[in-house]
């Protein structure tokens, strides 16, 4: 019923939602026939449906390399995240993981649900990895080695300072950005040298996830490790867990805003990186997650719900972003719109208001100076229903029937 209300309120999101549903069903039917590749793409759908959608649009050779890159790092991350593994066992595995991806016989049981399946059947991923071109293999091996070493380092220490926060995010996400740039280069579809811009692409996404997932992570049993830096949260609470308690709501929101302001530091680098991309499918692959990140931060900012429940972009708006992101004009437009939403939520009483506004203005300046805002699509403005609600519901039901029919008939 909630989805129906959202569609009545935002009717312009209905058509993109239908298109996204059809595209997702089509992607599910494009799984390769070979057992090891079938496992990889099926697993990709289970561990990251949104990532699977954007990866399906890549050139076949690059698509395979990115799929395996993602699953290898997902497996590495599963080892890091499993709190039941003693540190003296976990650290050597993380440090040697880059060698295990060449060994179809290597096995280590850990994780839960679909991640346990991934680890139990990792030989399928290794088999697929061994079929990739040498340039792709070398890039994946190098990043896996560096990431494993970085994860091992932070297994034994907490994130105390902002510098350590940046370092940790570099190991677990900045290196992903660097690795993807290497894969793009190996495909000969892009000629970008991996640099600080690649790193910022990863940091922006990772910091957004860390902010958004506060409540899920703090409530996890067994207790999950938290990566909000003490240098930030200690200004507002005695312990990080204190932020979820109602009596600390004012300080919790101030801390949240401080974290969002820190994440905004990376936006200008991200815009520069995306503006240099030339291959349309790679551009969309990179741009859609970045727009989702700035949209999520705009929703999280000054929002106590981060400490009470789930904050995320509504499904229709997500579909609209996925369907409407085709050019750099769309990217500048969406970043400008979401930064306007964020700016409208800044309160003068917030201790970081001046710093936050300064970063928002820098982002908006980059968007304006691009000269492309006159071509932008608006994602921030609330769309108003232009037709009778009953008619909208009738159309929604009709399109749902069409989707059901296509699911049965689509080859």
Could you list the active site residues? 168, 212, 225, 285
Other beta carbons less than 10 A from residue 88's beta carbon = 7
Q: Where are the beta strands (DSSP E) in 251-339?
A: none
The pair of structure tokens assigned to 297 is 């931060």
CA–centroid distance for 312 within its chain: 12
CB distance 49 to 56 below 8 Å: no
Q: Which residue has the tokens 């789930």?
A: 310
CB distance 58 to 282 below 8 Å: yes
CB distance 173 to 160 below 8 Å: no
- Distance (Å, whole) CA 309 – CA 49: 22
- Distance (Å, whole) CA 22 – CA 197: 34
Answer whether the bond into residue 222 is a cis peptide, omega within 30°: yes
**DSSP structure class, residue 173:** I
CB distance 14 to 316 below 8 Å: yes
* Distance set, CA 377 to CA 32, 204, 320, 327 (Å): 35, 22, 10, 11
The pair of structure tokens assigned to 340 is 């306007």
Other beta carbons less than 10 A from residue 49's beta carbon = 12
- Distance (Å, whole) CA 77 – CA 219: 19
């Amino acid at each position: 019923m909630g989805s129906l209300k959202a569609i009545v309120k935002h009717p312009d999101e209905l058509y993109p939602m239908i298109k996204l549903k059809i595209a997702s069903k089509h992607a599910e039917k494009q799984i390769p026939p070979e057992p090891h590749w079938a496992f990889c793409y099926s697993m990709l759908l289970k561990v990251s449906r949104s990532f699977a959608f954007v990866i399906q649009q890549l050139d076949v050779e690059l698509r395979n390399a990115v799929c395996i890159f993602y699953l290898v790092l997902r497996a590495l991350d599963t080892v890091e995240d499993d709190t039941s593994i003693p540190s003296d066992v976990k650290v050597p595995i993380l440090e040697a993981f880059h060698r295990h991806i060449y060994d179809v016989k290597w096995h280590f049981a850990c994780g839960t649900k679909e991640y346990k399946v991934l680890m139990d059947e990792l030989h399928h991923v290794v088999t697929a990895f061994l079929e990739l071109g040498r340039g792709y293999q070398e890039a994946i091996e190098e990043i896996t080695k560096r990431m494993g070493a970085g994860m091992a380092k932070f297994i034994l220490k907490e994130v105390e300072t902002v510098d350590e926060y940046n370092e940790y995010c570099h190991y677990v996400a900045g290196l992903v950005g660097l690795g993807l740039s290497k894969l793009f280069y190996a495909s000969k579809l892009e000629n970008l040298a991996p640099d600080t811009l690649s790193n910022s692409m990863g940091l922006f996404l990772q910091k957004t996830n860390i902010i958004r997932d506060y409540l899920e992570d703090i409530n996890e049993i067994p207790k999950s490790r938290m990566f909000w830096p003490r240098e930030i949260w200690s200004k507002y609470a005695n312990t990080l867990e204190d932020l979820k308690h109602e009596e600390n709501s004012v300080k919790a929101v101030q801390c949240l805003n401080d974290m969002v302001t820190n994440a905004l530091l990376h936006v200008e680098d991200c815009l520069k990186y995306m503006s240099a991309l030339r291959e349309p499918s790679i551009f969309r692959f990179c741009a859609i997650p970045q727009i989702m990140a700035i949209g999520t931060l705009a929703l999280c900012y000054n929002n106590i719900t981060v400490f009470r429940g789930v904050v995320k972009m509504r499904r229709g708006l997500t579909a609209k972003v996925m369907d409407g992101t085709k050019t750099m004009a769309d990217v500048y437009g969406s970043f400008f719109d979401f930064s306007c939403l964020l700016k409208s939520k800044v309160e003068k009483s917030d201790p970081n208001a001046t710093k936050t506004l300064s970063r928002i203005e820098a982002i908006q300046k980059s968007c304006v100076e691009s000269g492309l805002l006159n071509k932008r699509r608006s994602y921030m403005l609330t769309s108003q229903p232009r037709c009778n609600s009953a008619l909208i519901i009738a159309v929604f039901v009709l399109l749902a029937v069409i989707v059901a029919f296509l699911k049965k008939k689509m080859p």
